[in-house]
A and B are shown apart, each in its own frame.
Chain A
């Protein structure tokens, strides 16, 4: 049994699976049920001045028979009075002293507002605070959430105000609705953030009903943009986590969020630098019990690899995430089709023929059997055929021995620069 405990900027938890600030962490009843089910921590549904929610709030994107590939919402922060939330947070922490209980906060960008809420929340005993600079709808129109999260100086200033009074670790939750996530991350760190968490939801419209012409979801015939999350956003979130993890000016622990549905996703985020993860959609889709399979899968994975603590995998892939300009231009892979495994759907052929480099031939072999074969000399190693192939192991991308020594674009530019000091180009990043 591997050690699954984590420590995120001083916040300890029995395992890395935390519930993200969202409907699953709305009440004490829910968070306590979650802890009983095995969740290692929870970030309480964002507190602030209670709001009024709309009826009809969520929508999902189903993909080819699989439900909830993506999830969309127009819900705001908590709609319950602060006193009620504080009482339940207190009770929950008392019952579960070993679990991480972090409280998410969002108030107007005013110093005294932040001071007041931080003091009130910390007075009841919590393990940390998360500043929600991410909610992309509703709150943004009031100058909060993503509206302040998109302005790096506002993030820095508000973080600073919080840090003036906060006794517990402060996590700044970032919005992905921005061009370069590291800019905001760096400002959060300058403001004194002990950790960052990302991503919050991405601006989205789940769909349009082609018969009624209403938006999905709609509130009495009208819709507005919502926030997108769930499995579909994972690659976006993973990139943003990785970008922050490899930025030395960020340099604080990361809580990874966005589309994590199982233990494998969690491992990916942790390899890319997350010290722990937060999950919302998967819990909303399946209930709290989903954490059981996550814990078991993670544990068996670590045991299998002979890794004694989950903390040992954090960041292990970060150094492999680099700039395009540092990739070896002489590295080559080609597709190879295993005739035994191939089921002859011809999808690779048509993908390559129509949309890539026309190098998969449809042939008939000596026995009169149809076979697909790659002309390796023409294959550029784009991976497309292996992506569209429906069968495990039928198409393998094979590494070719290097004919020339490794050379990156940046190496090349430097070489050219040396040769011709007069003409220089910018490094590609």
Chain B
């Protein structure tokens, strides 16, 4: 067998270089040319296409007129994680996809301009917003990801006193821990966290609700609670051999590259990534940058059905990731030391029958089983749900998706609101940072409206 190869770690310098932001920002000249190309449409479709409704023509005009503070303020006003979104939003599906210049010439690089303005804000160290006058109400936010941060920031601006409870040592959620550094450097996410803290929001890190403090306690102590705990790690897919050494959870794999812990040893390795969504792509490109010799994405359907965006697919291909379409994993095989050696797969074909999601159901081709030699297998199929936490509060949910009333953003518990991935159900497109941010904002406004109504009732 070829297992005499030594799988190792890249040098710290190589790791730093590989995980530094891949795409350079715009130069001033490029930003000026691009911003002056924007038509400044009225009732612009890009604004509608942005889930947080950023006034895009306005921020671009501010760049064109050398008012970067104004540009950054316009962006961050609508989107508290606007610097992260400038990098991770699937812009061709959102703002840039709606640009009227599509077809006429080429769409404005809205994401890159957004990055140009927010990069300025990060470098300038300016505080863009101020808290509102206190209304003597207290809100606890569970989870300091995009949804929690957005809710907290808007609540603080509305005059609430806010405490975020965050299980990890740093806030920012998946922006800080889950999205690969070469797309989103951690410093960007942590700047957004700091912007929220500077409004007087207290962030208690390292406090896991349900373990270190009970959700019930928070409900008792605060006037309202926002549940924004996101989703968990990758669930088991029930494959034989998942416990073997060399089998990784995609999100944990990415997280370890972001925490600067001694990284996962993949130098020279052959890696199979199971799945074809955004997480799978991140795990695959991450493996390449950890030095893997070969990275194959194993997916039981075809390119047309994969949920990753085109730009992600293109990026993965450029990085040298290979794709095994119509291939389903059957089991993971290890050696006597409990170390992964092979992935057993079976070839698939698409049947005529469509599943509940409208996609054709793949069926195995009998007798087509084969062994793929691998040193590591990365599982990247979905994310777990925080069912335990949800049930400890007694909230209504649908298989871990908290059920809320859209208008009031309230859960089945009158004091508990929810936003972000924790309310994100399957079949609703992709979970996105920008949607989590918008939901956080809307939740804050719903809470504000609720207390405004109750206080006027009291009078």
Q: How far is the CB of A5 from chain B (nearest CB, A)?
A: 20
The answer to the question of A340 belonging to the interface, with a C-beta cut-off of 8 Å to chain B, is: no
Cross-chain contact of A297 among B28, B29, B67 (Cβ < 8 A) = B67
Are the CB atoms of B29 and A264 closer together than 8 Å? no
Which of A300, A304, A391, A392 counts the most B-chain CB atoms under 10 A from its CB?
A: A300
* Chain A residues within 8 Å of B42, by CB: 287, 289
Among residues of B, the one whose C-beta sits closest to the C-beta of A296 is B70
The answer to the question of A164 belonging to the interface, with a C-beta cut-off of 8 Å to chain B, is: no
Contacts A264-B66, A293-B70 given; indicate if A392 touches B61 (C-beta within 8 A): no
Are the CB atoms of A263 and B65 closer together than 8 Å? yes
Among residues of A, the one whose C-beta sits closest to the C-beta of B70 is A296
Contacts A66-B36, A293-B58 given; indicate if A391 touches B67 (C-beta within 8 A): no
Are the CB atoms of A297 and B36 closer together than 8 Å? no
Q: How far is the CB of A388 from chain B (nearest CB, A)?
A: 15
A contact face: mostly helix, strand, loop, or mixed:
helix
The answer to the question of A356 belonging to the interface, with a C-beta cut-off of 8 Å to chain B, is: no
State which residues 387-414 of A face B: CB under 8 Å.
390-392
Q: How far is the CA of A301 from the CA of B29 in the complex (A)?
A: 21
Are the CB atoms of A392 and B62 closer together than 8 Å? no
Among residues of B, the one whose C-beta sits closest to the C-beta of A261 is B65
Q: How far is the CA of A297 from the CA of B58 in the complex (A)?
A: 11
Are the CB atoms of A262 and B65 closer together than 8 Å? yes
| Residue-wise interface mask of A (290-306) relative to B, using a CB-CB cutoff of 8 A (1 in contact, 0 not) | 10110011001100100
| Residue-wise interface mask of B (117-141) relative to A, using a CB-CB cutoff of 8 A (1 in contact, 0 not) | 0000000000000000000000000
Among residues of A, the one whose C-beta sits closest to the C-beta of B69 is A300
Q: How far is the CB of A339 from chain B (nearest CB, A)?
A: 17
| Residue-wise interface mask of B (45-76) relative to A, using a CB-CB cutoff of 8 A (1 in contact, 0 not) | 00000000000001001101111011001000
B contact face: mostly helix, strand, loop, or mixed:
helix
Cross-chain contact of A392 among B29, B67, B70 (Cβ < 8 A) = B29
Are the CB atoms of A293 and B29 closer together than 8 Å? no
Are the CB atoms of B67 and A286 closer together than 8 Å? no
Q: How far is the CA of A33 from the CA of B70 in the complex (A)?
A: 23
Q: How far is the CB of B434 from chain A (nearest CB, A)?
A: 24
Q: How far is the CA of A67 from the CA of B86 in the complex (A)?
A: 28
Cross-chain contact of B65 among A264, A286, A304 (Cβ < 8 A) = A264
Are the CB atoms of A391 and B29 closer together than 8 Å? yes
State which residues 52-109 of B face A: CB under 8 Å.
58, 61-62, 64-67, 69-70, 73
State which residues 4-42 of B face A: CB under 8 Å.
28-29, 36, 40, 42
Q: How far is the CA of A289 from the CA of B29 in the complex (A)?
A: 26
Are the CB atoms of B65 and A293 closer together than 8 Å? yes
* Chain B residues within 8 Å of A391, by CB: 29
* Chain A residues within 8 Å of B36, by CB: 66
State which residues 285-343 of A face B: CB under 8 Å.
286-287, 289-290, 292-293, 296-297, 300-301, 304
Contacts A292-B58, A391-B29, A392-B28 given; indicate if A297 touches B40 (C-beta within 8 A): no
Name B's A-contacting residues (CB within 8 A). Answer: 28-29, 36, 40, 42, 58, 61-62, 64-67, 69-70, 73
A-B contact pairs, 15 of them (CB 8 A): A262-B64, A262-B65, A263-B67, A286-B40, A289-B58, A293-B58, A293-B65, A293-B67, A293-B70, A296-B67, A297-B65, A297-B66, A304-B69, A391-B29, A392-B28
